[in-house]
Amino acid sequence: MKIFRSILKVAKPHFEKGGRLEKLYNAYDAFETFLFVPGESTPGGAHVRDGIDLKRTMFTVVIAMAPCLVFGIWNVGHQHYLGVGELTGVFEGFTAKLLYGALRVLPIVAVTYFVGLNTEFAFAVLRGHPVNEGFLVTGMLIPLIVPPTIPLWMVALATVFAVVIGKEAFGGTGMNILNVALTARVFLFFAYPTYISGDQVWVAGNPEEFVDGYSGATPLGVGYIDGMDGLAAAAPFTYDLRNMVLGTIPGSIGETSAIAVGLGALVLIATGVGSWKIMASVLAGTVTASSLLTALNITPFQGVPAYYHLFMGGMLFATVYMATDPVTAAQTEKGKWIYGFLIGVFGIVIRVLNPAYPEGFMLAILLMNVFAPTIDHVVVQSNIKRRAARVLQ
């Protein structure tokens, strides 16, 4: 690290005011603060409890997503070998599955970061403001919420759309009203719906080749069409609760394993980066809505227990990594409970009652992103009225 520090020290005068590369100072500053803690300190008089900055916070979220990334890479390889009828056991050929998965997943990650960071750098240079760090998380989220069969050019297009329309149009990191990664996902869903289902099993060696007669429909799709009988009869997959919790099922790269998502949730809660109140309230809203619709028998998921909805689709992943986005989520303590509960309710309502799109949590979070400021406003005004009434008594 001393070598990097020396290189940056020698280069810095060229980027500072009066230097030949003055206009690119913000790009230089982004690299320097990416590698090292900023040299600036908070002005005296402020009560600072720790030295963490935005980059360190973003790194914490990236670390929390690492279990989903690693498992997703392995699972892509696992689904490939299931498709060709080899190494069908969970513990068979671990290294081979990891290599096959990396061959497909890592290019998606690389394209997302390359395109997204260059887009942000371009805006920073043109506008003359520092490079924001929010894309450190977005660049990892986007690959994890798309299927491994997605063409790389679509990933690049969706990333540019998300950064420009979802964030920079509102002023950059901290100003956006919609979750940036979900903006990319919803763009892909409406622009290229046949590529975003995550149902097909990729065969290494030819990204366009899929195993004949082996579509690998996700548990959510099977349960929506054929109910519990379809889940029980699915072959060669086994869509029982154990496999859905473990994550050895088809789906988007990072969303299939409840265990991997749970590990990430523990990291976010332990570090205080993610709100446990939002996570708990989303789960509560999901269970409440799914139990009510199941009891009333107005759901196409015939015979599927209400709690299965916690493990089908991207519900858990969306709850942990997207609903808790500190920029687009509710900020008041009571508002977090309301915000999360409504995400769970609307997610199930969209999933169950919308015949065109069984996965509803993406749209539910985007909907509540829009209403989060209103929820906070109502909570704050309610507190003001209650305290005013207490004073007048």
Distant-in-sequence, close-in-space partners of 298: CB < 8 Å, separation ≥ 6: 352, 353
Q: Judge contact between 196 and 147, C-beta under 8 A.
A: yes
Task: Please give the Cα distance from 91 to 245 (Å, whole number).
Answer: 16
Instruction: Identify any residues that bridge with 210 across adjacent strands, giving them in sequence order.
Output: 202
Q: Which amino acid is at 392?
A: L
Q: 333-353 and 361-392 are packed helices; what angle lies between their axes, rounded to 10 degrees?
A: 150
Distances (CA, A) of 285 to 237, 245, 255, 289: 29, 20, 19, 6
Q: Judge contact between 360 and 347, C-beta under 8 A.
A: yes
Q: 361-392 and 180-191 are packed helices; what angle lies between their axes, rounded to 10 degrees?
A: 140
pTM of the model: 0.83
Cis peptide bond upstream of 236, omega within 30: yes
pLDDT digits (tens, 9 = 90+) for 119-177: 988 887 777 766 666 688 899 999 999 999 899 999 999 999 999 998 888 877 778 88
Q: Which amino acid is at 8?
A: L
Q: Judge contact between 283 and 319, C-beta under 8 A.
A: yes
Nearest to 187 by CA among 12, 373, 379, 362: 362
Report residue 117 as tokens.
């960071």
Cis peptide bond upstream of 326, omega within 30: no
Task: Please give the Cα distance from 252 to 72 (Å, whole number).
Answer: 8
Q: What is the pLDDT along the chain (393 residues), one digit of tens a residue?
A: 567 567 766 666 766 666 766 656 655 565 555 555 555 554 544 444 445 556 667 889 999 999 999 999 999 999 889 888 888 888 899 999 999 999 999 999 999 999 998 898 888 777 776 666 668 889 999 999 999 989 999 999 999 999 999 888 887 777 888 999 999 999 998 888 878 765 555 454 444 444 443 445 677 877 777 788 877 776 556 788 888 899 998 889 999 999 999 999 999 999 999 999 999 999 999 999 999 999 998 888 888 888 899 998 889 999 999 999 988 999 999 999 999 999 999 999 998 887 666 678 988 999 999 999 999 999 999 999 988 888 776
What are the helix and strand counts (H, E) for the chain? 14, 0
Beta strands in the chain (DSSP E): none
